[in-house]
């Protein structure tokens, strides 16, 4: 729901019907990655975005207030340190945050990437993501140094008749 159409605490602003459909369309894509942990801003729209996947996968959504817009604004260094810890987790993870927060968080991620992966991360930093868009990072976790070896940008396109996923590498 757009900010202008919602009265009240922004953390309670929900997804629209289209947003809920897009969240459901993300489920099969996320299932392909064997996600073990789901992290999300504690804002309603972020939790609602990952809830269909978490329910299907039977995992708990670990709500992280530091990844909300006000949480990040109050302590950006803590959010970036927390992201650094999360991306070092050896299991596949998903993190849902807000588009205004994403460029700063991607700065941490870009530091672990090179080549085409770093270029894609920088492009997302510069251009943002559309609603229901995501960045998929493929990383080494068993090497002495964390490294992002590939990155993809995906967007769920949900229509009345089908659900498709487009991916740009």
The three-state (H, E, C) secondary structure of the chain, written as one string = CCHHHCCCCHHHCCCCHHHHHHHHHHHHHHHCCCCCEEEECCCHHHHHHHHHHHHHHCCCEEECHHHCHHHHHHCHHHHHHHHHHHHCCCCCEEEECCCCCHHHHHHHHHCCECHHHHHHHHHHHHHCCCCCEEEEEEEECCCCCCEEEEEEEEEEEECCCCEEEEEEC
Buried b (16+ CB within 10 A) or exposed e, 107-132: ebbbebbeeebbebbbebbeeeeeeb
Sheet of 163-168, strand order: 133-140, 147-158, 163-168
Tens-level pLDDT at each residue, the chain (169 residues) = 455 555 666 565 667 788 888 889 889 989 999 999 999 999 988 999 899 999 999 999 999 999 999 999 999 999 999 999 999 888 999 999 988 999 999 999 999 999 999 999 999 999 988 877 889 999 987 767 889 999 999 876 654 333 344 444 4
Hey, which CATH number is domain 3-168, 3.20.20.70, 3.40.1360.10, 3.30.70.270, 3.40.50.1240? Answer: 3.40.50.1240
Mode of pairing for the β-strands spanning 37-40 and 61-63: parallel
Rounded to whole angstroms, what are the CA distances from 90 to 48, 93, 155, 157?
A: 25, 9, 25, 30
- Predicted pLDDT at 11: 64
pLDDT, residue 160, reads: 37
The domain locations on the chain are: 3-168
Q: pTM for the full model?
A: 0.84
Evaluate whether 42 touches 19 at the Cβ level (below 8 Å).
no
Q: What is the per-residue pLDDT for 6? A: 52
Asked whether the beta carbons of 158 and 22 are under 8 A apart, the reply is yes
Q: State residue 90's pLDDT score.
A: 87
């Amino acid at each position: 729901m757009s900010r202008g159409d919602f009265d009240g605490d922004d953390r309670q602003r929900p997804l629209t019907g289209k947003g809920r459909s897009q969240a459901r369309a993300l489920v099969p894509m996320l299932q392909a990655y064997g996600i073990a942990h789901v992290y999300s801003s504690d804002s309603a729209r972020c939790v609602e975005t990952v809830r269909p996947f978490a329910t299907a996968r039977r995992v708990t959504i670990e709500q992280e207030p530091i990844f909300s817009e006000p949480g990040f604004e109050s302590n950006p260094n803590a959010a970036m340190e927390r992201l650094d810890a999360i991306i070092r987790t050896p299991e596949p993870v998903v993190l849902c945050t807000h588009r205004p927060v994403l460029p700063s968080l991607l700065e941490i991620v870009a530091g672990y990437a090179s080549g085409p992966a770093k270029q894609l991360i920088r492009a997302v930093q510069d251009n943002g993501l559309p609603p229901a868009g995501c960045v998929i990072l493929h990383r080494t976790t068993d090497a002495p140094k964390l490294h992002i070896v590939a990155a993809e940008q995906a967007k769920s396109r949900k229509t009345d008749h089908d659900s498709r996923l487009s991916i740009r590498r």
